[in-house]
Amino acid sequence: MSRLPVVAVVGAPNVGKSSLVNRIMRRRGAVVSERPGTTRDRAYNRAEWAGREFTLVDTGGMEPRAKVGLEALVTLQARVAVEEADVVLHLTDARLGVTEADAVIARELRRARGQAVLAVNKLDNPADDMERHGFYSLGEGEPHAISALHGLGVGDLLDVVVSLLPPSDQDAEEELPRLAIVGRPNVGKSTLLNRLLGKDRAVVSETAGTTTDAVAAEIALELEGETERYLLLDTAGVSKGARRARGVPYYSSLRTSEAIRRSDVSLLLLDATDGIVAGDLRIAREIEDAGSSCGVVVNKRDLVPPDLLREIEGLILARLTDLKPQSVRVSALTGAGVDQVLPLAARVGRAYRLRVPTHEVAEFVGDTVARSAPPRGVKIRYATQTGTTPPRFTLFANRPQDLPESYLRYIENALRQEYGLWGVSVRIRVKSSR
Ligand code: GDP
């Protein structure tokens, strides 16, 4: 499936990265109603400008918890951005002028595969334009003046950014979908991976596709007689390159985040002996925010009684209300239950890519509305699927604003039941039918 191009915002702390990201996100096309709960304050955002969609990365959001110097911090940010972005937006602060941190970033960006765009923030007053000229010295081309706070210059800046994105390619559809087994260190990722692949062929090929994907194997998933091919990502660090960084918590969490964003299906692996801990919830949240899809795999069931397993499942499912995933219980060590893992992944993947013919959606939603009507005076006239990965639907109603959230949830649940939409977010918009 095709990936969205990536735009990363880098810059020293406090130059206004998050303000800029928030400003850009607020310009998204008019959405009459969308399921709440998909927070916008995460490091990865889906943005749109001039008809182009892209992933907007706020690298300020990935500052490691460990105290590191400013230079190390901006270097790391810039490297991450350079690694994955098609366009890197280097944000600077007019009030500070060119700083040491800017010079460090400029140096890193010279190695970028993607293009860099320089923006000078906090130019709230066009009369201050002279401030901008000093930034030519960074050697990153024209410094674009903006005020993230007031929105000045942001549209022009986005025009430049969008013009540098690689051409959108429908042909990228050919790429195989990706499956990632994600979880905290020691939950059993590599044990499970080895189990799934057979001990002696743990890593089939080191890399494939993009430079940052370490792929453990290409696998075939069988579901109802149909075979689907997937790339299974090496999230456990069983490959040689990744092994070096294995054990370094920041890098393992970075690898997890990357895998989640790059994968179509994430299997969240939990260690039943730990119950649910903060790290699990953080990863769960990342999966929801990434717009990926997910299944839950509770590991080490050989060590934990069934009632506790049930409790753990209940806890995690209560957190993943946007995705409503299914779960399976396994022991990667003994192999018990492991044969349920890939079928789970296949079901989730299928739900994620679901496409329902238009007349069928309209009919099904029509029946659902007939069974329990919306509040008096509101008429749902039509329904259609408007997107996939994950599935999106649009309802057309005479008075969209009067359709309560609870009613949308009723429709959502009906769609989930009917089409087996477990482990995917189901977005429903309502538009005016007039
Ligand atoms: P990773 O860091 O997530 O890749 O975790 P590992 O696969 O390295 O596993 C961490 C530890 O948990 C190892 O000592 C495994 O042997 C152990 N382990 C993994 N799965 C199971 C399981 O199902 N049951 C038990 N008892 N131990 C397990």
Q: Is 332 in the pocket of ligand 1 (CB under 6 A)?
A: yes
- CA–CA separation, 145 and 368 (whole Å): 52
Alpha-carbon distance of 395 to 415, in angstroms, equals: 13
In a domain, 1, yes or no: no
Kindly give, in sequence order, each residue whose CB lies less than 8 Å from that of residue 385, ignoring residues fewer than 6 positions away: 354, 355, 356, 358, 361, 391, 392, 393, 394
Ligand 1 pocket check for 333: Cβ under 6 Å: yes
Shortest-distance atom of ligand 1 to CA 246? 2
Q: Which atom of ligand 1 is nearest to the CA of 334?
A: 23
Identify the pLDDT of residue 122: 93
pLDDT digits (tens, 9 = 90+) for 258-307: 889 889 999 999 999 999 999 999 999 999 988 889 999 999 999 999 99
Query: Are 137 and 224 in a shared domain?
Result: no
Query: Is the domain of 157 the same as that of 240?
Result: no
CA distance 377 to 152: 43
- Residue ranges of alpha helices (H) inside 182-273 are 189-197, 240-245, 249-262
The alpha carbon of 335 and the centre of ligand 1 are apart by a number of angstroms equal to: 12
Distance from the first to the final alpha carbon of the chain: 34
- d(CA 397, CA 394) in angstroms, rounded, equals 10
The residue whose CA has the least distance to atom 2 of ligand 1 is 186
What distance in Å separates the CA atoms of residue 51 and residue 158, rounded to the nearest whole number?
11
Q: Of how many residues is the chain composed?
A: 434
179 close to 349: Cβ distance less than 8 angstroms: yes
| CATH code of residue 382 | 3.30.300.20
Answer whether residue 318 is part of any domain: yes
pLDDT, residue 61, reads 52
Tell whether omega for the bond before 390 is within 30 degrees of 0, i.e. cis: yes
Task: Identify the three-state secondary structure at position 433.
Answer: coil
Whether 173 is in a domain gets the answer no
Extract the tokens encoding 174: 């050919």
The residue whose CB lies within 8 Å of the most ligand 1 atoms, and thus the one to mutate among 301, 331, 333, is 333
Nearest CA to ligand 1 atom 1: 186
281 and 318 part of one domain: yes
What pLDDT was estimated at residue 36? Answer: 32
**Would you say the CB of residue 274 lies under 6 angstroms from ligand 1?**
no
The confidence score (pLDDT) of residue 39 equals: 29
Pocket test for ligand 1, best of 191, 192, 239 (most atoms within 8 A of CB): 191
Mean pLDDT by 10 residues, the chain (434 residues): 76 87 66 30 68 80 56 72 81 93 88 84 80 90 92 91 79 70 92 78 40 64 81 71 50 77 93 95 92 95 96 95 96 95 94 85 92 91 84 89 94 96 94 77
Number of H-type helices and E-type strands within the chain: 13, 15
Residues 194 and 336 reside in one and the same domain = yes
In ligand 1, the atom with minimum distance to the C-alpha of 269 is 3
The residue among 158, 156, 98, 161 whose CA lies nearest residue 132 is 98
**Measured distance CA(185)–CA(170) in Å, rounded:** 37
Tokens of 137: 């010295």
Give the helix/strand (H/E) hosting 388: none
Same domain, 301 and 372: no
- Any domain includes 168: no
Residue whose Cα lies nearest atom 25 of ligand 1: it is 300
Domains in the chain, number: 3
Question: Which atom of ligand 1 is nearest to 300's Cα?
Answer: 23
CATH of the domain at 295: 3.40.50.300
Q: Say which amino acid occupies 242.
A: A
Instruction: Determine the distance from the C-alpha atom of residue 99 to the mean position of all C-alpha atoms in its chain, rounded to a whole number.
Output: 32
**pLDDT on residue 65:** 47
Place of tokens 């001039």: 50
Cα 200 from chain centroid (whole Å): 32
Question: Do both 252 and 131 map to the same domain?
Answer: no
Q: Does ligand 1 lie within 6 Å of residue 57's CB atom?
A: no
Considering the domain architecture, whether residues 293 and 379 belong to the same structural domain is answered as: no
375 and 332 fall within a common domain: no
* Domain co-membership, 325 together with 378: no
**pTM > 0.85: yes or no:** no
Distance (angstroms) between ligand 1 centre and the Cα of 179 equals 20
Q: Is 122 in the pocket of ligand 1 (CB under 6 A)?
A: no
The SS3 call for residue 279 is helix
In terms of residue numbers, what domain contains 259?
178-352
C-alpha dist (Å) from residue 45 to 120, 138, 431: 22, 28, 23
- Nearest-atom index, ligand 1, CA of 332: 23
Neighbours of 39 (CB within 10 A): 10
The Å distance, Cα 299 to ligand 1 centre, comes to 8
Do 336 and 371 have their domain in common?
Answer: no
Q: Which residues contact 339 (CB under 8 A, 6 or more apart)?
A: none
Helix (H) / strand (E) element for 371: namely helix 358-371
Ligand 1 site-directed mutation target among 186, 197, 271, 283, most atoms within 8 Å of CB = 186
